[in-house]
Amino acid sequence: MSRLSCLFALLLACVSFASAQEHPTVTAQPNSVYVGADGKYDAAPDTALIQFNVSVQEETPQAAYDHAAKETEQVRQAMRASGIDPKSANIGFLSVQPVYDYRAGKQKLTGYRVSVDISLKLKDFSRIGPLTQQLADANVSESLNVNYTLDNIDEAKNKAVEDAYRRARASADTIARASGRTLGELSYATVDTFENQRPPYPRVMRAMAASAAPAAPTEEFTPQSVNVTAHVNALYTLK
């Protein structure tokens, strides 16, 4: 085995040992080169995910349910006033739970709480401001979160993988040329992708409704881009 081949085999063995915890061990082979690279893809979001809830408490389950039904109807009205079809929203969770008071040293039933979690996806970002304002004015939601994402996140991940692979191959090609060799075929590869989650838009609480500002909090602001990263490890033969 030539000195250069021994050097490549030793390098491959070291890299394989360092990554053994995350990927299957790559067997070091003469006349091969093992490289890794990161790639990324940034895109403007095309979907806004709005999540809010209705939560009320009354003395009886029926009273709590009726109260929740009235407030949920106000949510529907707020959506219609913002030009949004209520049928486009999804109910992700509905619960009826007893509420107890333990302050006297024993369990005492004080009422029942009904909670409804609602989510909505919007493509038209101009409707976000009016909807959040309508919900704040109606004073029906304890919290409201807005987050931006891509509807087809898999396509973005594929672009990040392509970028990482181009970088990995370029590194391998550089090593081959620097050593007077030619890069051969790809014989092994691993891929990892990561979506950088953005924190939700600041929460809108009930206490804000009474002093809601005329301008919506999202007005004249641009949503943060969606960032997807990928890491590719690749093993090439050397000619």
58 burial via Cβ count (<10 Å: 0-12, 13-18, 19+): middle
- The more confident residue out of 193 and 22 is 193
pTM: predicted TM-score of the whole model, two decimal places? 0.65
Comparing 44-53, 89-98, 180-189, 193-202, the range with the smallest average pLDDT is 193-202
- Topology of the domain comprising 3-43+153-196+229-238: Translation Initiation Factor IF3 (3.30.110)
Domain ranges in the chain are 3-43+153-196+229-238, 47-149
Looking at per-residue pLDDT, the higher value among 91 and 143 belongs to 91
- CB contact burial 19-51 (16+ within 10 A = b; e otherwise): beeeeeebebbebbbbbbbebbbeeebebbebb
Which architecture, in CATH terms, is 47-149? 2-Layer Sandwich (3.30)
Cα 122 to Cα 50: distance, rounded to the nearest angstrom = 8
